[in-house]
Structure 1
Amino acid sequence: MRKFLLAGAMMMAATIAQADPAQIAETAKGPTLVDAAGMTLYTFAKDSAETSACNGPCAANWPPLMAGSDAMPMGEWSVIIRDDGSKQWAYKGQPLYTWVKDQKPGDITGDGFLEGAWHVAQP
């Protein structure tokens, strides 16, 4: 019984300690998801639900919002497995990325890139 209670308490502590992987900030597009550094997050129209189509050179320009090996889905946040086996955060099933050409928090220079395939991620 004691082991069961201890395991349950540890799971609860881990759940409480895990915060949302992104925050909401105001940009020229309105409320937008941003990473811990305040950089705009984007979605890619070529992704399918829970699957990233942005790998290799694409991921060098559009770095994925990486999830730790122990990351757990919560609410509208899920964790996907990338082609290389690493984990990435997704919001409402859409994998999230930053854009290397955004220079400072609030920049949205990737919005509409590649004939409209990239969009700022909004809650």
Structure 2
Amino acid sequence: MKSSLLSTLVLSAAALVSGVAMAAAPVKTAGGMLVNTAGMTLYTFDNDVAGSGKSVCNGPCAGLWPPVMAEAGAMPEGDMSIITRDDGGKQWAYKGKPVYLYKSDMKAGDATGDNFKNVWHVIKP
């Protein structure tokens, strides 16, 4: 009986550890800005309120500025947190502000959305 309980605990701990490892924030710094793991530039939107836990970029806005979604089991770390979108999806946030990609950026390092309409900005950690 003890062996079975011990095996269950070991397997549960292994599953927990592997789940946390897979759920790390998908960001890094490159060229003085925050990018995703593919090297695509990340942005914040001035109309989002830091710490509100909300994104105001939904519908057509989210089509042009895709939110950086968090995988199930993702955990906040450092300056990265997770908010809940209006549709119930989970989105990464940097210092409390939701994080987005820009649809017109075609390759790693592009930052064509920086200062778009003076409300979209590259994240510079």
Alignment of 1:19 onto 2:30: no
Q: Which runs of 5 or more structure 2 residues have no equivalent in the other structure?
A: none
Separation in structure 2 between the aligned mates of residue 34 and residue 81 of structure 1, nearest angstrom: 21
1:35 is matched with: 36
Deviations 1:82-101 (A, max 9, x none): 01111111111111001111
Alignment of 1:61 onto 2:64: yes
Please report the RMSD computed on the Cα atoms of aligned residues, expressed in angstroms. Answer: 1.8
Alignment of 1:81 onto 2:84: yes
Separation in structure 2 between the aligned mates of residue 69 and residue 14 of structure 1, nearest angstrom: 9
Q: Which runs of 5 or more structure 1 residues have no equivalent in the other structure?
A: none
1:118 is matched with: 120
Which deviates further from its counterpart, 7-16 or 35-44?
Answer: 7-16
Separation in structure 1 between the aligned mates of residue 10 and residue 47 of structure 2, nearest angstrom: 45
Deviation, 1:18, is 3.3
Deviations 1:94-122 (A, max 9, x none): 110011111111111101112x1000012
Separation in structure 2 between the aligned mates of residue 71 and residue 18 of structure 1, nearest angstrom: 4
Deviation, 1:7, is 4.4
2:20 and 2:73 in contact (8 A); partners too:
no
Mark the structure with the bigger radius of gyration: 2
TM-score (norm: length of structure 1): 0.83
Aligned length: 118
TM-score (norm: length of structure 2): 0.82
Q: Give 1:100's match in structure 2, choosing from 99, 103, 108.
A: 103
Which residue identity lines up with residue 77 of structure 1 in the other structure? Answer: M
